Structures are given as C-alpha cells and as structure tokens.
Homo-oligomer: A and B are copies of this chain.
Amino acid sequence: MRFWSDNTASACPEIMAALAEVNHGRVKAYGVDAWTARLDGVFGEFFGTEVKVFVVATGTAANALSIATLSPPYGAVFANPEAHIVRDECGAPEFFSHGARIVLVPGPGGKVTPNGLQAAVEDNPPTVHTVQPAVLSLTQATEFGTSYRPEEVAALSDVARRYKLKVHMDGARFANALAFLVCAPAEVTWRAGVDVLSFGATKNGALAAEAVVFFATSLVRDFELRRKRAGHLISKSRFVSAQLLAYVETGVWKRNAARANELARRIGTAGGGALMHPVEANEVFLRLGDARKQKLRAAGFEFYDWASERSGEARFVVSWDQPEEDVTALCRALAAS
C-alpha cells in the first residue's frame, strides 16, 4: 500500500484514450498541430480570460522557465523554504534564469505570508550592490498540502505589486487546491494577481503533461525561445497537448483531485492529534514518532519520512488511483496504533 507520492501513480484512462485518439497520420511537429492550437481557447474558457498556454513535460521545466521569463539574471525570487523550486529541483530556477537568487520567506503551513514577504523584500533593498527583487513564487497547493485562499493570494499579490514583483504560481497540485477551495480557477489566479501559472496535470492523472499559463501575455515570445533552447519544445507535441485537452475538457482534473482529496481527508482525521497541517489537498503530514512509523511499515504501508529519517514525521500522499481499501486500511491502522 503505497503512499509515496502522486507522481508514482499511473495515467488515467481518459489520458490514455486521448493519446490513442491523436495517434494517426503525419501532422506538423513542434506545436503546429490542431490539438496544440486549441489549448489557448480551452484554457481561456477554463480561466475565464484570454491566456497563452505552452506545454512542457515536467513541472520543474514549467516552474524554471516561468521564473526565467519573469526575472533577470540578477533578480531575487521570493519563496517559502519548503517550495519545490527550493528543495526539489537541483537549482533549476538558478539554471534557467542564469543565476537569479531564491530568497527564503518562511511561513506556517508552507505558505508565504504578506508580512514575511514584505520583510524579505525590505531586507533586499535594490541598490546596485544587491540582487533585484523580481518574482514572488507561490505553491498551490503547498508542499504541506495546504491551499491558499483567493484572498490570501490577492493580499500577497498586493505586496508583490507594491515592489514591482511578478507573481508566479507553482500549480503542480493546482487541481487539488481547486477541488478543495471549490472556487473558480480565475479567483485564485489572475483575478488574485497571478501573472504566470505552472498548471500541473502529471501528478493528477496525466502521463507527462504540464501547461504554463500566461495571464500576462506580453512575455510569451521570450518564453517560447527559452523553452526551445532548453529542449522543452516537444516535437510530437500533439501527444502532450492531447493530454492537457482531455484533462481539462473531460473534467478528469476535478474528479481525480476531489477523490484524492477526500481520501486524504479521511487519513487526516484518522491521524488525530498527530496531524501537522490541515488537509487541504491530497497530502497528509503526521507526527507519528519512530515506533508508530515502524509499525505501519511492518503492516505494509509505504510512505516517506518527512524532512529526515530521525524526525518521527511522515508524509502520506494519496494518488488519483489510490485503491480505497489502502486508505481504509491505513485509517484503521492509525486509529489502532
């Protein structure tokens, strides 16, 4: 019973069907195909505004390319210390941006707070001797499985605007956040001040498909060139675009995310006092102690230690394809231990 991560999941039937469906004939490569052509329209409807959409194969590429388009090489990017761009991308933002610096802004539940952001920016006053404040990067849902409310995003964007920062949102688990918040996609993105969104599908049922959604469309030519230059312009683009179309149009994004969230919620409830963060997506963090962790593992539950082996903390991620009986068994085991 594996609760490692949602990127260990399989691809869902709608996605596989979409691949099969577009797999015929010779069509132009590198994004000049009929499916890619539909992306702007489909995502525009999803977000209720004009957008420019680009597809890539990984979330790291989506994040780092977005940041490189928003920040000069001498820029500062503000993010929570737990953010994927900080801990899990081997310095991809620095690579793509040619050396921008990530400035850490700690905050509870893996979130950036307006006060924290303001303090961090003020601590980096833009003289010629310092990196220049450029980007705020938020993770939605966060690495701790919490979700920013629309008004939280808006408040952060307000601070960002005051200092002329662009706002990037890492939405590797965007669907999970949406499913939890039950709000329109627009409300937590462009209406709340987001300029560019990494819109993930891979973790929630796609095979390998991420969209970069530009609400501020003036920057897109630079993005296109950076994407090509980084080897992220997929030649047989129809196969990635088709995944994203299916993901949005069939509503599978919502079905998969809502299911995983609900199962995660049950685990959180079963965790009781051990719960470290509110469950607002498909991740559950529990402070179990080594003995309980060992016991769970002996019972066949597989999950990652959080932060370190010695912390006594554990992370459980529910995938879209998680068997319900795994979750039921885990809840029972947690209650019993």
Contact = CB atoms under 8 A, between A and B. Distances in A.
A208 B228 contact: no
Contacts of A23: 10-11, 16, 207
Contacts of A25: 2, 10
Nearest to A203: B235
A118 interface: no
A8 interface: yes
Contact of A28 (B8, B11, B29, B132): B8
Contacts of A97: 99
A230 B232 CA distance: 9
Contacts of A100: 91, 94
B90 A229 contact: yes
Contacts of A239: 11, 207-208
Given A94-B100, A234-B208, A130 B27 contact: no
Given A99-B99, A322-B26, A73 B92 contact: no
B231 A58 contact: yes
Nearest to A33: B8
A225 B29 contact: no
A162 interface: no
A224 B28 CA distance: 31
A65 to B, nearest CB: 8
A90 B130 contact: yes
Nearest to A130: B90
Contacts of A58: 231-235
A202 B235 contact: yes
Contacts of A7: 29-30, 235-236
Interface in A168-222: 202-203, 207-208, 222
Given A11-B239, A207-B19, A222-B72, A101 B102 contact: yes
A50 B150 CA distance: 49
Contact of A90 (B74, B94, B95): B74
Given A19-B19, A74-B95, A95-B99, 12 more contacts: A2-B26, A4-B26, A7-B236, A11-B236, A16-B19, A73-B98, A89-B229, A90-B129, A94-B100, A96-B231, A208-B239, A230-B230
Interface of A: 2, 4-5, 7-11, 16, 19-20, 23-30, 56-65, 72-74, 87-92, 94-102, 104, 122, 128-132, 202-203, 207-208, 222, 224-226, 228-236, 239-240, 308, 319, 321-322
Closest 9 CB pairs of A and B: A61-B231, A94-B99, A60-B231, A7-B235, A90-B229, A90-B228, A2-B26, A7-B29, A8-B26
